[in-house]
Structure 1
Amino acid sequence: MNPMASQLSRGVLLAALYFAGAAIAVLYLHTPADVALFWPATGIGFAAVLRFGSPYVLSVIAGQLLLHLLLAPVPLLFLPFSLASNAIAIWVAARYVRATHPQLRLRTETGWALLRAGSLLCTISASLGSIGLVVAGMVPLHEWPRAFLQWLLGNLLGATALTPTMLLLFGAAQEDLTLASPQSPARLRERVVWLLLMLLLLSGGMAFPERDSFYPLALAALPLALLLWSAARFSPAFTAVATSLVTMLLALVLGLGIGPPGFHRPHSLQDTALLMGSLVVLSVIPILLAASYHERRQAMAALQHRTMVDPLTGLLNRDAFEEQARARLAHSQGPLSLLYIDLDNFKLVNDAASHAAGDEVLRQVARLIQNTFAPNALLAHSGGDEFTVLLEAAAEQASVPARRLLASIEALRVGWQDASLRTTASISLATSLPPHAAFHELLSRVDAACQQAKDLGGNRLLVVAEDDESLRTRNRMMRTALDARDALERRQIELWCQSIVPLTSPPNPRQLHFEVLLRWRDADGTLHPPANLVAAAERFRLGPRLDRHVINATLAWLDQHPDAAARVAHCGLNLGGATLVDEEFGDYLAGRLSRSKLRAEQLCFEITETNVVRDLSLARQFIQRMRTLGCRFALDDFGTGFCSFSYLRDLPVDYLKIDGSFVRDLTTSPLSESVVRAITDIAHLLGMRAIAEQAENEAQLALLRALKVDFAQGYVFQRPVPIAEFFSQSS
């Protein structure tokens, strides 16, 4: 249907509704000079013009004209006043509401605006209509106040009783259009009880009066309690319809005097005003209260939405996802799959283009996730560049959309200023079968697997098996990392030392060369070697914190023992790979050395060849900055990257520490002997000195001396001992 035909059909329908409302009012008219005590057409016409616009005033005129032609003929002189009184008043009132509230919403302030506009409408309509009655000779001039008041009250009751209901039925507030929203069984039972009580109250109230009793005005107030109950418990649309029906019923019964003998039509102006005023109050209070409750529910819903939904992506936030995921795991009878999605190298997007650009990429990825998975899947932005998905599917079915999402993210291009931003993702998937695992266990599995996928280069899907040994290893490492953090906080890390002995000159007991090593005690007091602790700390970004702790503890101990500090010629301290790229470490070390009695040149920082080769430029910058303070450097575990000899020319280190695997095999492997010789020769050629690690016997020492290695370290001299014991043994 074309728009013109649709508007015409709507206009005809509205004219018919207006005519029907006016036809009800005809019941109140005994003579052409009578004024209807209740004019429902006002509410219908007002709502129609408010909802669909000023042109539909023509429907009001058409309905009014049809009324006078078919049901309520009037003198020709009065007809223009009758048509104008309704059309002009409705048009003016609608313009007033639209000027102050362009968007009609079910709000208390909108209700008050409609009430003010309704009062304006009724005043204008009553003024024009009552004047028309006098001009047409239908009402004597001295009867004009009575006609004006009755006209005003009849229109006002029609507006208050029907306008809110008709607006909701016309769809003016879409969120409240549904009359019967899905309800729980308890709420449905409550509604049935309400309806039964309302029927009982109305029927009982009308059966109670006797012929000679006082005028039963109280009947107009009896249903108010139930309507207030409805406003508090049921939907605004239900309350509006109920209020309209009850008001219309009471207006007909009390206004026309129909029903049992105890009811009669009000004859005096005072009775009429009291009746109509009571009905107006009855029709207004429940609607305003319903709007107030609706506002409160909307505010609470908005607050709940903010607590559950991530504002950036529109997905669930972490807390809401975990709560709903736990509920599904507790009640689901089928397989459930949890996906963990982590964008690869997302920090580059933020650093290169800005955090606003990164936010836009996250929004686009969130849309891809929403479009990939079924509507019943739980989707969350867990924080940062991480997303989680829980869907009702086994691993085989869940991996299909997961791989599709992986390809979609890789193909995504986000335009930002003059750049095209892109990223990839690492996705892990774990499936749980009934009885389901606890949420935190499932999350731990996919978190560990996702990190493993990133370690393998990213841009891949990793499906987790329950007996995956690599995940168990990673979980053990995670627990060790937690132990490391706990050990740092509780200061359970101990300093141990091992001698580094000169091979080309006699040792000087007053000049000590040694490396500081770590041991840590768990909650049971058991002493552990550092290998797992250091690896876990480095893996989970605790390395810089651990290195700072060791440096601070070493300097603090030496500051407390100045005699021991004076004997230090070379104090080796290990630094992890993360410390090499920690921009704040240099400032920390400079500040800490300024407060220490130990000189910077007494310290030698040991960094592994693997970490240096990983980012040679950053390593070179770091070493040069530390050397400006006076510190020295040793390249630890040298030889594991044997093919990288060429970078040594530009790497300002003082020592090469030959990896212990070559030293241990020195007496049995010609290859190991050749490697040690080559490293030593290159070290001397570049002005460095060579240190052999893990020397265990005299035969190895003899060969090391023959190869002109400068220093050796290992069990052949001394096993590591606590720092206090080390200095007491060396005294």
Structure 2
Amino acid sequence: MRDIPAMVSRGALLAALYFAGAGMTVLYLQTPADVALFWPAAGIGYAMVLRFGKPYVLAIAAGQALLHLLLVPAPPLFLPFSIGSNALATWLAAAYVSAHARQLRLRTSDGFLLMRGAGVLCLASAGIGSLGMLVAGMIAAADWPRAFLQWALGDLLGATATTSSMLLLFGVPRQEQTRLAPALGSLRERLLWSLLMALLLAGGIAIAHRGSMYPLAIATLPLALLLWSAARFPPTFTSVATTVVTITLALILGLGIGLDGVQRPDSLQDTALLVSSLVVVSTIPILLAASYHERFVAMAALHQRATRDPLTDLLNRDAFEEHARLRLAANAGPLSLLYIDLDNFKLVNDSASHAAGDEMLRHAARLVQAEFAAGDALIAHSGGDEFTVLAALPDEQAVAAARRLLGAIEAMRVAWQGGNLRITASIGLAGSQPPHASFDELLSQVDAACHEAKDLGGNRVLATAENAESLRNRSRMMRSALDAREALDQRRLELWCQPIVPLAQPAQPNRVHFEVLLRWRDGEGLLRPPANLIAAAERFRLGPRLDRHVLDATLAWLESHPDVAARVAQCSINLGAATLVDEEFGEYLAARLRRSALRAGQLCLEITETSVVRDMTRTRRFIRRMRNLGCSFALDDFGTGFCSFSYLRDLQVDYLKIDGSFVRDLASSPLSEAVVRSITEIAHLLDIRAVAEHAEDETQIDLLRALDVDYAQGYAFQRPLPIAEFFGVKS
């Protein structure tokens, strides 16, 4: 109800606009029986009903009634036909357009739709109006075809001349939202164009006034300038200019106003030819402008897709990198690069769905924008749960902004299916002063800082300047991971072996119990210890691949030496924590053993105490499956981790390998002796054999025997050797 006064006010304004458009040509009718060859009110009414809705046909009826009341008296019998022809025909045309398009935009397909609707309007209006003239006795029956055609042509020209400009002025969307600015002509160019158009029209009128035989040339000369406008200027400018030019030409050529040498066309053929020419002038520039606009919108959409992230509407990774490199190269003031990674985001996707994760990313993106957009910062959704920001801020201000952002993210609640999702983030930050470091160098620094922040528990900012030493250690670890990947790719890993010797009874002749150890060669061919390589591989998710390589290489070597394989009592191979929870590794190992000459009972898989407690459920499942195949298990480095004996009953391991730190201090430390004794006694209680690592001399061996340790391994028996040398196989 509150909209009714606004609708009445708008209807009154539209009725007045319609009346003005109709009055423009009616003033030049010579008799009430005349039919105007140009009826701009048709386009005005058509546009306003399309824009504001079908109820506004009442404004057309009011404007038409006002026209007959004030300017053009008509026979009473003709009045309902005159009012109905304009109102009803416009309603039918708008209904036709609405049935084929929910929303009109500036595009060629909608332009042709408007022309088809204009055809409906013209035919319906001409049919009703000319019938009314016949019924009211305003024309003879023989003149009805001429009246019908003139009425239709007048409405058609009015619709093509004014509908587009009225729609654009009424606020119909001109283009989809885009960040690209179209290449529009300057103000100086528009002024030059307007001057040329005025001179061209004035010159054409002067020539026609002097009695030229080709008055239609006046209609075609401005077309060149209108095409220029379509290619260079905004669509609204071109549309309004086309309307003004068409109205000017129609008033002069169609009505013969103001020119002695130009007369109103008398024959139906001349009328049709003149109006058709003016229709071409009024439609071609608009269609061309729509075509240029469509091409621009398509280019903008492609640019949007190429540079923006569709989920968050931030820059994507490639666009951010391109802009960041340019900004760093400009060396204009201090800059700070921030790398933002949401903590444990995978849990949101896994527990609440990826749709919930997407919603959380959108919320986080808005928080990042709210914190940094004011400073003209570059902000990107780099992929997954990561955001990158390049802000024109010095270190201290950037750290303060990053901490505010962390607080906002921690306080964020995302409503989802009756609950609230929450999350934290880790931020790595690197500042740079002119001349700036390269983008790649800064990105490497913030990436390392962000991952270090996550390793420290997350929900924190780590600035490279304040944590240089820890980040250097992490960089070394990352280089070790690259070394591991390269060594795997180039097959620069070597198998070494060390025996595991029984202490309580002599070893069986021709039966070998040993552990496979790993060595690797760097790019210069130098042999390197495996500790850093294995730690980096485990940390950066290369563990399962490394373990597959060692297992496959060991089995392949033994299979190629069947006489050696027959001597193997137990071959121990280490598995990392990531491998234990890798479902595919169990499938691979089962398939590999099925086609191996080595029996599963000859294989012992060594796992560490700390890796077991990472995911106890999956570890139990893995051990159970491998034991069903016949494999044995050893719990390595026991005693240094959580020292929990309670879960040994559920793990079903065959060996407990006592950590070498206790064995090394056995002779001098009562505590070490107590630990070794306790582990051994509990192992025997659970029917598990104890193995002492890093046994280095006879004193330690004697003490281990006294403590009933079952096996020992270390330099006291043999240093590790390459596998071929260990078995005495000549290469």
- Go from structure 1 to structure 2 and tell me whether the alpha carbon gap of 1:540 and 1:196 turns closer, same or farther (over 3 Å shift): farther
Residue of structure 1 equivalent to 2:254: 255
Residue of structure 2 equivalent to 1:520: 520
Q: How many Å apart are 1:528 and its aligned residue?
A: 1.9
Once residues 182 and 67 of structure 1 are traced to their aligned partners in structure 2, the CA distance between those partners, rounded to angstroms, is: 44
Residue of structure 1 equivalent to 2:281: 282
SS at match of 1:431: strand
Matches within 5 A, 1:295-374: 295-331=294-330, 333-374=332-373
Residue of structure 1 equivalent to 2:388: 388
SS at match of 2:541: coil
Letter matched to residue 554 of structure 2: T
Q: How many Å apart are 1:475 and its aligned residue?
A: 2.0
Residue of structure 2 equivalent to 1:725: 725
Matches within 5 A, 1:414-433: 414-417=414-417, 420-433=420-433
Residue of structure 2 equivalent to 1:562: 562
Give CA deviations for 1:509-565 in whole Å, capped at 9, x if unaligned. 622222211122233333222111101110011101110110000000000001111
Task: Report sequence identity in percent.
Answer: 70
| C-alpha contact 1:168 1:177 (8 A) present in aligned 2 | no
Residue of structure 1 equivalent to 2:654: 654
Letter matched to residue 644 of structure 1: S
Residue of structure 1 equivalent to 2:576: 576
Query: Does residue 91 of structure 1 match 2:91?
Result: yes
- Go from structure 1 to structure 2 and tell me whether the alpha carbon gap of 1:553 and 1:279 turns closer, same or farther (over 3 Å shift): same
- Is the deviation greater in 202-211 or in 80-89? 202-211
Residue of structure 2 equivalent to 1:440: 440
- Is the deviation greater in 201-210 or in 508-517? 201-210
Residue of structure 1 equivalent to 2:672: 672
Letter matched to residue 39 of structure 1: W
Once residues 80 and 644 of structure 2 are traced to their aligned partners in structure 1, the CA distance between those partners, rounded to angstroms, is: 104
Q: How many Å apart are 1:496 and its aligned residue?
A: 1.5
Letter matched to residue 692 of structure 1: A
Once residues 617 and 61 of structure 1 are traced to their aligned partners in structure 2, the CA distance between those partners, rounded to angstroms, is: 80
Once residues 522 and 263 of structure 2 are traced to their aligned partners in structure 1, the CA distance between those partners, rounded to angstroms, is: 93
Letter matched to residue 596 of structure 2: S
Once residues 388 and 193 of structure 2 are traced to their aligned partners in structure 1, the CA distance between those partners, rounded to angstroms, is: 45
Residue of structure 1 equivalent to 2:485: 485
Q: How many Å apart are 1:76 and its aligned residue?
A: 5.2
Letter matched to residue 6 of structure 1: A
Once residues 17 and 176 of structure 1 are traced to their aligned partners in structure 2, the CA distance between those partners, rounded to angstroms, is: 29
Give CA deviations for 1:155-203 in whole Å, capped at 9, x if unaligned. 211111001110111113364899xx96658666665565455445444
Once residues 21 and 352 of structure 2 are traced to their aligned partners in structure 1, the CA distance between those partners, rounded to angstroms, is: 64
Letter matched to residue 610 of structure 1: T
Letter matched to residue 294 of structure 1: H
- Is the deviation greater in 707-716 or in 551-560? 707-716
Letter matched to residue 657 of structure 1: K
Matches within 5 A, 1:164-179: 164-173=164-173, 175=175
| C-alpha contact 2:184 2:232 (8 A) present in aligned 1 | no
Once residues 439 and 257 of structure 1 are traced to their aligned partners in structure 2, the CA distance between those partners, rounded to angstroms, is: 71
| C-alpha contact 1:171 1:177 (8 A) present in aligned 2 | no
SS at match of 1:584: helix
Residue of structure 2 equivalent to 1:690: 690
Query: Does residue 124 of structure 1 match 2:124?
Result: yes
SS at match of 1:374: helix
Letter matched to residue 266 of structure 1: P
Q: How many Å apart are 1:599 and its aligned residue?
A: 1.6
SS at match of 1:458: coil
Once residues 646 and 224 of structure 1 are traced to their aligned partners in structure 2, the CA distance between those partners, rounded to angstroms, is: 93
Once residues 176 and 70 of structure 1 are traced to their aligned partners in structure 2, the CA distance between those partners, rounded to angstroms, is: 43
Query: Does residue 459 of structure 1 match 2:462?
Result: no
- Go from structure 1 to structure 2 and tell me whether the alpha carbon gap of 1:650 and 1:586 turns closer, same or farther (over 3 Å shift): same
| C-alpha contact 2:426 2:459 (8 A) present in aligned 1 | yes
- Go from structure 1 to structure 2 and tell me whether the alpha carbon gap of 1:502 and 1:45 turns closer, same or farther (over 3 Å shift): same
SS at match of 2:226: helix
Q: How many Å apart are 1:630 and its aligned residue?
A: 1.8
Q: How many Å apart are 1:18 and its aligned residue?
A: 1.7
Give CA deviations for 1:414-470 in whole Å, capped at 9, x if unaligned. 454465544333333333333333333333223222222222222333333276221
Letter matched to residue 214 of structure 2: Y
The CA RMSD over aligned residues, in Å, is: 3.3
Once residues 149 and 177 of structure 2 are traced to their aligned partners in structure 1, the CA distance between those partners, rounded to angstroms, is: 34
- Go from structure 1 to structure 2 and tell me whether the alpha carbon gap of 1:715 and 1:197 turns closer, same or farther (over 3 Å shift): farther
Letter matched to residue 562 of structure 1: P
- Go from structure 1 to structure 2 and tell me whether the alpha carbon gap of 1:204 and 1:488 turns closer, same or farther (over 3 Å shift): farther
| C-alpha contact 1:168 1:176 (8 A) present in aligned 2 | no
SS at match of 2:465: coil
| C-alpha contact 2:577 2:614 (8 A) present in aligned 1 | no
Q: How many Å apart are 1:377 and its aligned residue?
A: 4.5
Once residues 100 and 650 of structure 1 are traced to their aligned partners in structure 2, the CA distance between those partners, rounded to angstroms, is: 70
Residue of structure 2 equivalent to 1:534: 534
Residue of structure 2 equivalent to 1:641: 641
Give CA deviations for 1:247-287 in whole Å, capped at 9, x if unaligned. 11222332344577664543443322211110012212222
| C-alpha contact 1:377 1:392 (8 A) present in aligned 2 | yes
Q: Structure 2-normalised TM-score? A: 0.90
Give CA deviations for 1:642-691 in whole Å, capped at 9, x if unaligned. 74344434442222223222333344444434433443444344433333
SS at match of 1:223: helix
Residue of structure 2 equivalent to 1:550: 550
- Go from structure 1 to structure 2 and tell me whether the alpha carbon gap of 1:435 and 1:119 turns closer, same or farther (over 3 Å shift): same
| C-alpha contact 2:513 2:571 (8 A) present in aligned 1 | yes
SS at match of 2:728: helix
Q: Structure 1-normalised TM-score? A: 0.90
SS at match of 1:426: strand
- Go from structure 1 to structure 2 and tell me whether the alpha carbon gap of 1:597 and 1:196 turns closer, same or farther (over 3 Å shift): farther
Q: How many Å apart are 1:728 and its aligned residue?
A: 1.1
Letter matched to residue 348 of structure 1: L
Residue of structure 1 equivalent to 2:225: 226
- Go from structure 1 to structure 2 and tell me whether the alpha carbon gap of 1:93 and 1:352 turns closer, same or farther (over 3 Å shift): closer
SS at match of 1:627: helix
Letter matched to residue 574 of structure 2: N
| C-alpha contact 1:47 1:166 (8 A) present in aligned 2 | yes
- Give the paired residue count: 729
Letter matched to residue 521 of structure 1: R
Once residues 642 and 305 of structure 2 are traced to their aligned partners in structure 1, the CA distance between those partners, rounded to angstroms, is: 57
Residue of structure 2 equivalent to 1:242: 241
SS at match of 1:516: strand
SS at match of 1:728: coil
Q: How many Å apart are 1:87 and its aligned residue?
A: 2.6
Letter matched to residue 683 of structure 1: A
Once residues 615 and 496 of structure 1 are traced to their aligned partners in structure 2, the CA distance between those partners, rounded to angstroms, is: 30
SS at match of 1:657: strand
- Go from structure 1 to structure 2 and tell me whether the alpha carbon gap of 1:205 and 1:618 turns closer, same or farther (over 3 Å shift): same
Query: Does residue 58 of structure 1 match 2:58?
Result: yes
| C-alpha contact 1:380 1:387 (8 A) present in aligned 2 | yes
Once residues 729 and 668 of structure 1 are traced to their aligned partners in structure 2, the CA distance between those partners, rounded to angstroms, is: 40
Residue of structure 2 equivalent to 1:153: 153
| C-alpha contact 2:106 2:174 (8 A) present in aligned 1 | no
Letter matched to residue 483 of structure 2: D
- Go from structure 1 to structure 2 and tell me whether the alpha carbon gap of 1:669 and 1:301 turns closer, same or farther (over 3 Å shift): same
- Go from structure 1 to structure 2 and tell me whether the alpha carbon gap of 1:184 and 1:55 turns closer, same or farther (over 3 Å shift): closer
| C-alpha contact 1:496 1:519 (8 A) present in aligned 2 | yes
Q: How many Å apart are 1:722 and its aligned residue?
A: 1.7
Residue of structure 2 equivalent to 1:5: 5
Letter matched to residue 252 of structure 1: L
SS at match of 2:583: coil
- Go from structure 1 to structure 2 and tell me whether the alpha carbon gap of 1:612 and 1:388 turns closer, same or farther (over 3 Å shift): same
- Is the deviation greater in 403-412 or in 11-20? 403-412
Once residues 276 and 609 of structure 1 are traced to their aligned partners in structure 2, the CA distance between those partners, rounded to angstroms, is: 93
